[in-house]
Amino acid sequence: MSFLSFKLPHPLLSVFTLGVLGAYGMGPFYFWPALTLSLSLFWLVLTSYGDKPSWKSALCGFLFGFGYFTGSLWWIGNALLIDGSPYVWVYPLAVCGIPALLSLFPALAAFLIRRFFAGRSLSSFAAYIGLMFTAEYARGHLFTGFPWNLFGMSWTSTLPMLQILSLGGVYLLSFLTIFMFSVPAFAWKGTSSRTIRYALVVTALMIGAGSYAYGWQRLTQHPTIYNSDVLVQLVQPSIPQEDKWNWDKMWDNTRKTISLMESNPSRKGNDEPPSTRVVILPETALTYHHLSNLAALDALTGRLRGYPEDHVYLATGLLQHDGEHYHNSLAVMDRSGHIVTSFDKFHLVPFGEYIPLQKLFPFGPIARFSGFETGGGPRTLSVDGVPPFSPLVCYEVIFPSEVTARDEEHPSWMLNVTNDAWYGISPGPFQHLAQAQYRAIEEGLPIVRVANTGISGIFDAYGRPVLLTGLFSESNNESYLPLPAADVTPYVRLRGLY
């Protein structure tokens, strides 16, 4: 079998290589031409089997997925390499096991394509587009779901293309991406007439150009507008993960965090004095130990009382313990140190915060805290002087249509606290940051993201980066809070269909 006048290695080795190539379409590279080549050549290899057994097609899909997921998600294993981690031995399972599980989705899609839609006809190509998309959608929803590095995310560095998220979300963009990126192969080797093949190429080009034009116009017509009454202060302490849960260093970490909470006159947005300040600390910046320690509370409240604004709040990630269960929470405290409202994380990380089928696995979660209690789902929090907001802890931000409550008042912004120190200098923090950008465009809401380390920042309601910090750097930044989009996005109106 030869393409482009050179002979490829064994097809099964080829599809694994194509999967790895496709991974370069994801962060931090976002080189979408690599994914175009990957998806197009994968279709050619998959449809080259003729009358060979379907199980080889399933293996073909599995190896393509395995190359793609190992190439773009290898950094997950870094969480096991933190100094002092007792789970280093699980590293190969994290690096290979999770991609292997995710690869079952494209494997099933490839099997069905070969079993029921063999060949390179128009109907076979349509089945390829539909089943590859179904595989993406399924892995984003089944077994708690993991909608990470969906094919549509290859457009992250092209902001106008991302604006289509406001119409149909990341799954619509992923569907269109699979189609646009696979059409070159069909145009070249499809068995339909030249007219049909070229018509599909023209259609793909029109979709791409139309999407870009729509996005460019949307961005041009809607500049970033700020709420001059509300100032958000992002504190990124950049505490190494090996020190974060070292109880001998807990109070040193606390002092470091509080010392960064001073007012920063360098602001993004308006120059008018605000009436409200929200100081934001990252995921689990505080624990139940701090709430019961008078010296820690005095230091925190002393810092809060030093701000001149009428309303001052501390929004912080908080590890709570009720005597039986742990809660990974986001709490809002007033100047007196009282918690005025809080939210418990509801999308817990498998193996990180809980162990699925715990009886079958003789070890605890990586976070070292057993018995995390699941929160009740998305909520809208409100406090005096602050527009209502939707709180999100860590990777809850990756789930489309699950970042705001549907039965409550629609919020005016989203707040995501996280800790990406687990993953070091790797693609992980960049990919996680991009997820916040997608949710902002889908929901038509600005999002404030504060990390222990990783990349803290603010995206406006159209996905523009208003403020971004460095990776593994201490930072203290202020910005006026951007306003929501001018209109509720079609995605929000229609998301019940998703």
What average pLDDT values come out for the chain (498 residues) when binned by 10 residues?
48 90 97 97 87 80 97 92 77 90 97 91 97 98 95 98 98 98 97 97 98 98 97 96 90 94 68 89 95 93 94 96 89 96 91 59 53 88 97 96 88 97 93 98 98 95 96 94 96 76
Phi then psi dihedrals of residue 8, to 5 deg? -75, 155
Structure tokens at 118: 């063999």
Are residues 396 and 405 in contact, defined by beta-carbon separation less than 8 angstroms?
no
Are residues 67 and 38 in contact, defined by beta-carbon separation less than 8 angstroms?
no
Of 21, 160, 146, 27, residue with least CA distance to 434: 27
Are residues 218 and 489 in contact, defined by beta-carbon separation less than 8 angstroms?
no
* CA atoms of 58 and 107, how far apart (whole Å): 5
Structure tokens at 379: 């909520």
Residues sharing a CB contact under 8 Å with residue 11, sequence separation 6 or more, in sequence order: 1, 45, 48, 49, 60
Give the DSSP H or E segment for 256: helix 250-259
Phi then psi dihedrals of residue 350, to 5 deg? -60, 135
In the chain, domain spans: 2-221, 226-497
How many Cα atoms occupy the beta-carbon half-sphere of 68 within 13 Å?
31
**Topology, domain 226-497:** Nitrilase/N-carbamoyl-D-aminoacid amidohydrolase (3.60.110)
Phi then psi dihedrals of residue 457, to 5 deg? 175, 180
The pLDDT of residue 409 is: 80
Give the DSSP H or E segment for 108: helix 104-116
Is residue 442 annotated as part of the catalytic site, yes or no? no
* CA atoms of 168 and 198, how far apart (whole Å): 27
* CA atoms of 228 and 275, how far apart (whole Å): 8
Burial of residue 266, with CB atoms counted within 10 A of its CB: 0-12 exposed, 13-18 middle, 19 or more buried:
exposed
Structure tokens at 52: 């060979």
Is residue 394 annotated as part of the catalytic site, yes or no? yes
Selecting among 345, 353, 373, 396, the annotated active-site residue is 345
Are residues 372 and 356 in contact, defined by beta-carbon separation less than 8 angstroms?
no
Is residue 60 annotated as part of the catalytic site, yes or no? no
Structure tokens at 62: 């599995």
The pLDDT of residue 403 is: 96
Phi then psi dihedrals of residue 6, to 5 deg? -130, 155
Structure tokens at 307: 């701000």
* CA atoms of 237 and 223, how far apart (whole Å): 31
Phi then psi dihedrals of residue 444, to 5 deg? 65, 35
The pLDDT of residue 398 is: 97
Phi then psi dihedrals of residue 390, to 5 deg? -105, 120
Are residues 414 and 404 in contact, defined by beta-carbon separation less than 8 angstroms?
yes
* CA atoms of 172 and 491, how far apart (whole Å): 10
The pLDDT of residue 13 is: 83
As beta bridge partners, residue 340 has: none
What's the CA dihedral at 378, 343, 446, 213 to 10 degrees? -30
Give the DSSP H or E segment for 208: helix 194-221
The pLDDT of residue 265 is: 61
Return the CA Rg of the chain.
24
Give me the helices (H) in 357-496, please: 427-443, 490-494
Predicted TM-score (pTM) of the model is: 0.93
Residue 246 amino acid letter: N
Selecting among 394, 402, 442, 478, the annotated active-site residue is 394
Of 408, 396, 488, residue with least CA distance to 442: 488
The sign of the torsion formed by the CA atoms of 107, 112, 115, 120 equals negative
Structure tokens at 212: 């870009």
* Local structure of residue 266 (DSSP, 8 states): -
Selecting among 136, 283, 442, 478, the annotated active-site residue is 283
